[in-house]
Chain A
Amino acid sequence: MIPRFAHARPGSFDEAFAAFDAAGGDAAWYAGGTELLQVMKMGLARFGTLIDLKGIAGLAGIAGDDAGGLVIGGTATHREIERSPVVHAVAPALAALAAQVANPRVRNQGTLGGNLCFAEPHSDPATFLLAAGARLDLRGRSGRREVAIDEFLVGPFATTRAADEILAAVLVPAAAPGEGRAYEKIVFRERPAVSVAVRVRVADGAIVEARVVVGSMTDVPAVVAGAGAALAGSSADGGIAEDSLTAAAEALARLPAEDDLDGSADYKRHLAGVLFRRAVRAAVSEALARA
């Protein structure tokens, strides 16, 4: 059974901060509960009060921004992202990712904001959003601050969010002309064993810039700079140069990894290489379509 807690359902940010103070700080923000309730059941976390953020209208919904990017409210569910026309138009790989998170029940209930704040090393969206260069809109008593997701995720189950800050929205930039983004994963249980996200920019038939992120193998998804650098300069429209792929794969093979229930370290590095090749092909294909 879940340990006893009090419940508050504020209708605004100010009411939410007031509820946090009323709980003497012994409180957690609550939305879908798919992560939080689970760790409370397991006795890994205990809070005197859960403050339900789903009553705050400004946290819900998904919209486009002025620059053609996405503003995904902190309480938007994976299902809402999966089915959002604006997400399909701006970041089709994110819509496809959302459609594959855990299982349909978790997608109906779980939120993107909760997923990122929980900072599970096996998070699907965190890996993709690192590749896409997402930024996070955080609200505190002193107002709003915006951080790059790279500066938000700092360790397993650890972020730079203060306990009394609310993740209001996830800001996903539009793909620039010639840019493509893709995400590939392999799952043996509920969460990915290994996942790879790639963002490439293509100009004049060649890759000019690439960012490669490997999820689930390290404490936080790993930006593999060597793999990105190896891709830069490769041809794009006539197939990706094999020596670039090989050099990138060598960078991935140096990733730290541990043996666990998802497989041996060597096996996971192998999977990362396979998923990387798939993701690069998909990202280049999207990039060429946008060029």
Chain B
Amino acid sequence: MPETVELGFAVNGRPATVRVEPRETIADVLRERLGLTGLKVSCDAQVCGACTVLVDGLAVSGCTYLAIDADGRTVATVEGLATDDRLSPLQQAFIDEAAFQCGFCTPGMLMAATALLAENPTPTRDEVVAAIDGNLCRCTGYVPIVEAILRAAKAAR
């Protein structure tokens, strides 16, 4: 029997308890155990950002972050952005700016932007670009994504 460890953490504000092997990543646990399939595993090498989730408010690559390191922490995924049936202002701004086409990168983009706006509610364009440096999009082009994040920041003022 492989070694397993029981972990407890808060996912999108709700407590979760899971028993995992040390080698399991937070992406594995969120997607396969908790049914939170918003984050995508794409490059599996911390390059593309499709698996971006927040741990204690900081963006990490879910593909290369051991679930065991989230024990006792708070985890935020794209599923936690909307409240009831209302999209968050950031999500709405992505729609208003047509900031996605296929949508595969969008959960990661949204979480990278969420981390940015929590820390810096009034980012400059350069700061937005720096925050999503490392989140790759291969269809929209980055301009509408940057516009959407700036629009959400402006709407929150």
Give chain A's interface residues, CB within 8 Å of chain B.
1-7, 33-34, 37-38, 41, 50, 52, 54, 79, 102-106, 108-109, 190
**Interface pair A105/B134, CB less than 8 Å apart:** yes
Nearest-neighbour CB distance to chain B for A194, whole angstroms, equals 19
Is B46 interfacial (CB-CB < 8 Å)?
yes
A41: chain B residues within 8 A (beta carbon): 44-45, 64
**Given A34-B46, A108-B58, list of 12 further CB < 8 A pairs?**
A2-B25, A4-B21, A4-B23, A5-B22, A5-B23, A33-B65, A41-B45, A41-B64, A54-B69, A103-B134, A104-B112, A104-B134
Is B59 interfacial (CB-CB < 8 Å)?
yes
Partner of B60, one of A6, A52, A105: A105
Is B131 interfacial (CB-CB < 8 Å)?
yes
A-B contact pairs, 24 of them (CB 8 A): A1-B28, A4-B2, A5-B23, A7-B68, A33-B64, A33-B69, A34-B46, A34-B64, A37-B64, A41-B44, A41-B64, A50-B22, A79-B58, A102-B46, A103-B49, A103-B133, A104-B59, A104-B131, A105-B60, A105-B61, A106-B46, A106-B61, A109-B65, A190-B47
B112: chain A residues within 8 A (beta carbon): 104
Complex Cα spacing A1 to B20, Å:
14
Count A-B pairs with CB separation below 8 Å: 68
**Interface pair A103/B22, CB less than 8 Å apart:** no
**Interface pair B64/A38, CB less than 8 Å apart:** yes
Nearest-neighbour CB distance to chain B for A151, whole angstroms, equals 30
Complex Cα spacing A34 to B61, Å:
9
Is B84 interfacial (CB-CB < 8 Å)?
no
Complex Cα spacing A161 to B2, Å:
31
Interfacial residues of chain B within 21-65, with CB under 8 A of chain A in the complex: 21-23, 25, 28, 44-47, 49, 52, 58-61, 64-65
Nearest-neighbour CB distance to chain B for A135, whole angstroms, equals 30
B69: chain A residues within 8 A (beta carbon): 33, 52, 54
